[in-house]
C-alpha cells in the first residue's frame, strides 16, 4: 500500500499538528506517510498531518516567546527561560505533572525560537516537535538520546548536523528549511526510517547512500538535476523527487548536461528495491529518459505528470513499455491493458463525406 510520499499526481508538503497520543504510534513506527496530496499545489494542512496526527496532541502553547518575561508555565506546563550561566541561551522545562502526563512527547512549536533550548529532565523523551520556529542550527540533543521522532519543519536550518547523539532516531522532518547540501550529518542515523527534506535548496543527493535502512525519502521541491548514486539504499521503497530539475535518469548531470563534477554528481544508481517513485514536474521530455527504471524488479508506481513527456501522443503506452509492464499505477491512475497494448481508448471517428448513406 502506498504511503503516498506522493500518491497520485501531486507535489507539496504540510505543516499542522493535531491528533491522538503518540505512545502506541511511536512503538509501532511502521509508518505509512502521506507527504503530498493529489492537488498539485502546496498543502500545509494535507497528507503529512496524517503522520503527525499519530504523534501530536492538539492546540495550546502557541506563540510563546523565548526571550520575554519571567519564567511562567503555559497551559501545557512548559517554561521557556534564559539559561542561568548564559543569557544568550534558553532552557525548556516542564512541571513534574506535565512531564509525567506526557513523558515521551514535547511540543515546542511556534515559540519564536531562534535556537534549540537546553531540555531539562527530559531523558524519557521520544518525540520532539520544533516546527514553525526560526531555528538555524540543530543542537542540544545530548540529553534526549532516546529520541525517535524529531520535527524541525518550517525553520531556518542551514546544515544537517548535531544528530550524532540521537542514534535511535527513526523519523526526521526537515522540510521547508534552508539546507543546501546533505553532507555527512546523517551518517550515524543507521536506524532512520523516514526522512523528509522537501522544499529546501539541495542540489545533490550525496550523503544519502549510506542510509541502507531508510524506507521513505522526500526530496520534492529542491534543485536536483540528478538522483545520483542511491544504489546502497536497499531498504528504500518510496522516493518523492517532484518539482526538481531532473531531465534524464541515466545522466549524472540531468537537465544541465553531463559536464559536471563527478564528486557532486556520481554515476547514477537507483535504489534496487524501490516500489514507488514520483518524478512529477521535472524536465523529463521522453519515455527513454526513465528507461533505467526497467532494472527495478519491484517497481509498482510511477508519476511523471507535469513533465514535458506527458504531453506527447501515446505517452502512457510509451512509458509503460520503457519502464516495465509490471508497473500498475502511472500518474495516480491504474495502468490498463489498453495502456500496455497501445490502444487509444478514445479513437477518432471519421465522418463520411460522400457516397451511399448509412444503411443503404
CA distances from 127 to 104, 114, 291, 346 (A): 6, 20, 41, 52
- Which pLDDT value is given to residue 326? 85
| Cell numbers that stand for 243 in this block | 518539482
Q: Which residue has the higher pLDDT, 262 or 19?
A: 262
Q: Does residue 255 contact residue 245 with C-beta atoms inside 8 Å?
A: yes
CA distance to 84, 103, 175, 210, 316, per residue, from 90 (Å): 8, 21, 24, 34, 56
3-state secondary structure of 354: coil
pLDDT grade, residue 109 (50/70/90)?
very high
Once rounded to an integer, what is the mean pLDDT over residues 24-46? 40
Residue 38 has pLDDT above 50, yes or no: no
pLDDT band at 289 (very low <50, low <70, confident <90, very high): very high
The side-by-side arrangement of strands in the sheet containing 216-218 is 105-107, 127-129, 149-151, 171-173, 194-196, 216-218, 238-240, 276-278, 301-303, 329-330, 333-334
Percentage of residues in the chain having pLDDT higher than 90: 64
For 24-37, letters b (16+ CB in 10 Å) and e give ebbeeeebbbbbbb
- For residue 345, what pLDDT is reported? 53
What burial class does residue 150 get, using C-beta atoms within 10 Å of its C-beta: 0-12 exposed, 13-18 middle, 19+ buried?
A: buried
Distances (CA, A) of 174 to 137, 265, 357: 12, 23, 69
Q: Which residues of 95-107 are buried (b: 16+ CB within 10 A; e: fewer)?
A: eeebbeebebbbb
Q: Residues 73-95: what's their mean pLDDT? A: 89
Asked whether residue 60 carries a pLDDT value surpassing 60, the answer given is no
Q: Is the pTM of the predicted complex or chain greater than 0.85?
A: no
pLDDT on residue 285 = 97
Q: Give the ranges where the chain is alpha helix by DSSP (H).
A: 23-28, 48-52, 96-101, 315-323, 337-341
Virtual torsion, Cα 39, 194, 119, 140, nearest 10 deg: -110
- Percent pLDDT > 70 in the chain is 71
CA angle in degrees (0–180, nearest 5) for 147-152-157: 120
pLDDT score of 84: 82
Looking only at the bridges linking them, the beta strands covering 216-218 and 301-303 are unpaired
pLDDT of residue 16: 37
Separation between Cα atoms, residue 220 and residue 356, nearest integer Å: 59
What pLDDT is recorded for position 263? 62
Give the strand pairing for 333-334 and 329-330. Answer: antiparallel
The string of pLDDT tens digits covering residues 293-336 is 999 999 999 999 999 999 999 999 999 999 987 899 999 999 99
> What is the average pLDDT score of the chain?
81
> What is the mean pLDDT of the segment spanning 341-351?
55
Q: What angle do CA 18, 193, 329 make, to 5 degrees?
A: 85
Map residue 58 onto helix, strand or coil.
Answer: coil
pLDDT in tens, 89-106: 999 999 999 999 999 999
Amino acid at each position: 500500500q502506498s504511503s503516498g510520499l506522493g500518491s497520485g499526481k501531486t507535489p507539496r508538503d504540510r505543516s499542522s499538528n493535531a491528533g491522538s497520543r503518540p505512545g502506541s504510534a511511536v512503538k509501532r513506527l511502521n509508518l505509512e506517510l502521506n507527504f503530498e496530496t493529489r492537488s498539485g499545489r502546496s498543502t500545509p494542512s494535507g497528507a503529512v498531518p496524517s503522520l503527525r496526527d499519530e504523534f501530536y496532541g492538539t492546540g495550546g502553547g502557541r506563540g510563546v516567546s523565548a526571550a520575554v518575561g519571567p519564567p511562567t508555565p503555559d497551559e501545557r506546563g512548559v517554561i521557556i527561560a534564559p539559561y542561568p550561566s548564559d543569557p544568550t541561551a534558553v532552557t525548556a522545562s516542564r512541571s513534574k505533572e506535565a512531564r509525567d502526563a506526557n513523558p515521551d512527547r514535547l511540543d515546542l512549536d511556534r515559540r519564536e525560537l531562534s535556537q534549540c533550548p537546553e531540555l531539562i529532565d527530559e531523558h524519557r523523551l521520544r518525540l520532539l516537535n520544533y516546527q514553525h520556529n526560526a531555528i538555524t542550527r540543530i543542537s542540544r540533543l545530548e540529553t534526549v538520546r532516546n529520541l525517535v521522532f524529531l520535527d524541525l519543519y518550517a525553520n531556518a536550518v542551514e546544515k544537517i548536523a548535531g544528530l550524532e547523539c540521537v542514534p535511535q532516531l527513526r523519523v526526521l522532518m526537515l522540510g521547508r528549511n534552508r539546507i543546501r547540501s546533505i553532507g555527512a550529518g546523517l551518517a550515524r542515523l543507521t536506524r532512520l526510517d523516514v526522512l523528509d527534506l522537501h522544499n529546501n535548496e539541495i542540489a545533490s543527493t550525496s550523503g544519502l547512500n549510506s542510509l541502507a535502512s531508510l524506507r521513505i525519502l522526500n526530496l520534492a521541491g529542491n534543485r536536483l538535476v540528478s538522483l545520483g548514486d542511491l544504489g546502497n539504499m536497499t531498504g528504500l521503497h518510496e522516493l518523492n523527487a517532484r518539482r526538481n530539475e531532473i531531465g534524464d535518469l541515466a545522466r549524472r548531470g540531468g537537465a544541465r548536461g553531463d559536464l559536471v563534477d563527478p564528486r557532486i554528481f556520481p554515476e547514477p544508481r537507483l535504489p534496487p528495491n524501490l516500489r514507488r517513485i514520483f518524478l512529477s514536474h521535472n524536465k523529463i521530455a521522453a519515455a527513454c529518459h526513465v528507461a533505467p527504471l526497467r532494472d527495478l524488479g519491484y517497481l509498482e508506481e510511477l508519476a511523471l505528470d507535469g513533465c514535458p513527456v506527458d504531453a506527447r501522443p501515446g505517452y502512457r503506452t510509451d512509458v509503460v513499455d520503457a519502464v516495465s509492464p509490471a508497473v500498475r499505477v502511472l500518474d495516480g491512475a491504474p495502468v490498463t491493458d489498453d495502456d500496455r497494448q497501445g490502444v487509444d481508448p478514445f479513437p477518432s471517428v471519421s465522418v463520411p463525406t460522400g457516397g451511399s448513406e448509412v444503411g443503404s
